[in-house]
């Protein structure tokens, strides 16, 4: 009897949560936007399978077509030990999925004329001008450097050709440490001061390297705007776009909404894992990583993606000029600069084969070998703890999936989302 009463009470609570939840976009029947209900059912079964097969603790995913929401579901647990279920508005650490979001906000400084893409970075962050470029190494030691030629520009930062990498890319003799640069105890201004004491890996514009570029852009935005990046993002993007749960820590005083991170132990069973610290996550901090510090939800990211596909506008709020969004989503890399698949020192997830880079976002090339379905020019990236998205301007699709997982088969979430969504398109 007690069990029946508990189940009935739980049903009331869950029903109330569903009733009061606000969809991030208007709803539509799949057939009204060129999708098959049976195909979306198959996507849902595939996503639930990740949990039911013991490969993830929980997952949330959403799909919008032609600006209309056709699926938003959650399955499993955000905290298995506490018995807390995944819900549509569960909060996730999105790590590198932060990049496109912060880039869009920082590009508002271009739109309003505060900066130009081809301005030298040193105009705003003078320390950058002092960074030489490695010209010769011997036995892991830098023995010769040369000046920057050309000087690093804001465009180089956005398209990741500024000569920066992550700590692992520098020769051991340089002595750079990742946590020394991305320290939660310091500010973005402190980060630039420290980073600028090291040499660049390549001349600006020479090659694509995955690295600290977005974080330097964050410091530049703080300098130009006079605001902490946290406040800047709120003002320029999160508040006008209604991304109420996106930021550097969990909002509304609800820390238990943040999903726990899991990964396989030696037997393959899921166990709790520590999340690499890129932000404070549950309380206000002072370091605001533009490259990997945000927390967000699937509904918030669906709204962000729809704004991008709409050319910079959503629900009457214009965030970016249409031309700026078009430039953000255009391949910025030439044939000698590499692609996401072959960036120097970078091992990309398999789904990103055949992708290049726009302004802080992955861009699908029309040719090349691809390992997932998609359309030329679709936009993509993901996060360290197994979050992913894609925005397809040809099919007008926004799709987002989030879990919190560190393990060897993180690609599976991407494959299931992509194959399920494109498999649900009407013939």
- pLDDT of 123 over the 50 cut: yes
pLDDT of residue 7: 39
**pLDDT value at 99 more than 90:** yes
Q: Which residues of 305-342 are buried (b: 16+ CB within 10 A; e: fewer)?
A: bbbbbbbbbbeeeebbbeebbebbbebbbeeebbbbbe
Lowest model confidence (mean pLDDT) among 9-13, 199-203, 344-348:
9-13
Residue 16 vs residue 218, higher pLDDT: 218
Going by pLDDT thresholds of 50, 70 and 90, the confidence category of residue 108 is very high
From 172, 168, 175, select the one nearest 198 (Cα to Cα).
175
pLDDT for 335-375, tens place per residue?
A: 888 777 544 444 556 788 889 999 999 999 998 889 999 99
Q: How far apart are alpha carbons 80 and 313 in whole angstroms?
A: 38
Size of the chain, expressed as the number of residues it contains? 427
pLDDT tens digits, one per residue of 304-340: 999 999 999 999 999 999 999 999 999 999 988 877 7
Is a pLDDT exceeding 90 seen at residue 19?
A: no
Q: Measured between alpha carbons, how far is 91 from 283 in angstroms, rounded to an integer?
A: 14
Beta strands in 66-154 (DSSP E): 68-79, 84-85, 92-93, 133-138, 141-146
Q: What is the pLDDT of residue 145?
A: 97
End-to-end CA distance of the chain: 50
* Alpha-carbon span 133 to 136, nearest angstrom: 9
Mean pLDDT value of segment 149-156: 98
pLDDT category of residue 39 using cuts at 50, 70 and 90: very high
What's the confidence (pLDDT) of residue 347? 54
Buried b (16+ CB within 10 A) or exposed e, 184-214: eeebbeebbebbbebbbbbbbbbbbbbbbbb
pLDDT tens, position by position, 397-424? 999 999 999 999 999 999 999 999 999 9
Cβ pair 256, 79 in contact under 8 A: yes
CA distance 37 to 53: 24
Which is nearest to 380 in space by CA: 406, 405, 353? 353
Angle at 58 between CA 375 and CA 281, to 5 degrees: 90
Where are the chain's structural domains? 27-94+228-423, 108-225
User: Residue 348: its pLDDT value, please?
Assistant: 55
Contacts of 417 by beta carbon, 8 Å cutoff, 6+ apart: 43, 47, 61, 388, 390, 399, 401
Helices (H), 206-349: 213-225, 229-233, 239-241, 298-309, 322-328
Q: Please check whether residue 344 is in contact with residue 338, taking contact to mean a CB–CB distance below 8 angstroms.
A: yes
Count of H-run helices and E-run strands, the chain: 12, 16
Instruction: Tell how far CA 67 is from the center of its chain.
Output: 21
Per-residue confidence (pLDDT) for residue 14, from 0 to 100: 36
Say if CB 75 and CB 47 are below 8 A apart: yes
Q: Per residue in 184-198, pLDDT tens?
A: 999 999 999 999 999
CATH code for the structural domain at 27-94+228-423: 3.40.710.10
Given this model, what pLDDT does residue 338 score? 76
Residue 86 pLDDT more than 80?
yes
Residue 11 pLDDT greater than 50, yes or no: no
């Amino acid at each position: 009897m007690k069990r029946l009463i508990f189940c009935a009470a739980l049903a009331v609570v869950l029903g109330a949560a569903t009733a009061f939840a606000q969809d991030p976009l208007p709803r539509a029947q799949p057939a009204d936007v060129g999708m098959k209900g049976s195909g979306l059912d198959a996507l849902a079964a595939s996503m639930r399978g990740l949990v039911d097969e013991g490969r993830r603790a929980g997952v949330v995913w959403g799909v919008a077509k032609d600006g209309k929401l056709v699926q938003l579901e959650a399955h499993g647990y955000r905290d298995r030990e506490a018995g807390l279920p995944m819900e549509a508005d569960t909060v996730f650490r999105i790590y590198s999925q932060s990049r496109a979001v912060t880039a869009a906000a920082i590009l508002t400084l271009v739109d309003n004329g505060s900066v130009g893409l081809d301005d030298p970075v040193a105009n705003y962050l003078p320390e950058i001008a002092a960074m030489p470029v490695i010209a010769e190494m011997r036995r892991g030691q830098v023995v010769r450097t040369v000046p920057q030629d050309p000087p690093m520009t804001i465009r180089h930062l956005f398209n990741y050709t500024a000569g920066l990498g992550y700590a692992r890319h520098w020769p051991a003799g340089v002595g750079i440490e990742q946590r020394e640069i991305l320290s939660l105890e310091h500010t973005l201004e402190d980060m630039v001061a420290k980073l600028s004491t090291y040499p660049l890996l390549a001349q600006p514009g020479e090659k694509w390297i995955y690295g600290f570029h977005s974080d330097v852009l964050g410091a530049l935005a703080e300098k130009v705007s006079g605001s902490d990046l946290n406040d800047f993002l709120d003002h320029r993007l999160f508040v006008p776009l209604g991304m109420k749960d996106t930021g550097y820590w969990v909002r509304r005083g609800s820390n238990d909404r943040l999903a726990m991170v899991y990964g396989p132990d030696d037997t393959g069973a899921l166990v709790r894992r520590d999340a690499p610290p890129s932000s404070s996550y549950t309380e206000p901090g002072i370091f605001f990583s533009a490259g990997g510090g945000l927390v967000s939800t699937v509904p918030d990211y669906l709204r962000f993606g729809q704004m991008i596909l709409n050319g910079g506008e959503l629900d009457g709020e214009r965030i970016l000029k249409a031309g700026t969004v078009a430039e953000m989503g255009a391949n910025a890399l030439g044939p000698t600069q590499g692609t996401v698949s072959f960036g120097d020192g970078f091992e990309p997830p398999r789904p990103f084969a055949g992708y290049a880079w726009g302004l802080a976002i992955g861009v699908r090339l029309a040719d090349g070998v691809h390992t997932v379905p998609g359309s030329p020019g679709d936009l993509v990236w993901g996060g360290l703890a197994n979050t992913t998205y894609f925005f397809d301007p040809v099919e007008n699709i926004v799709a987002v999936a989030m879990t919190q997982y560190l393990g060897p088969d993180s690609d599976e979430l991407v494959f299931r989302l992509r194959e399920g969504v494109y498999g649900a398109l009407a013939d």
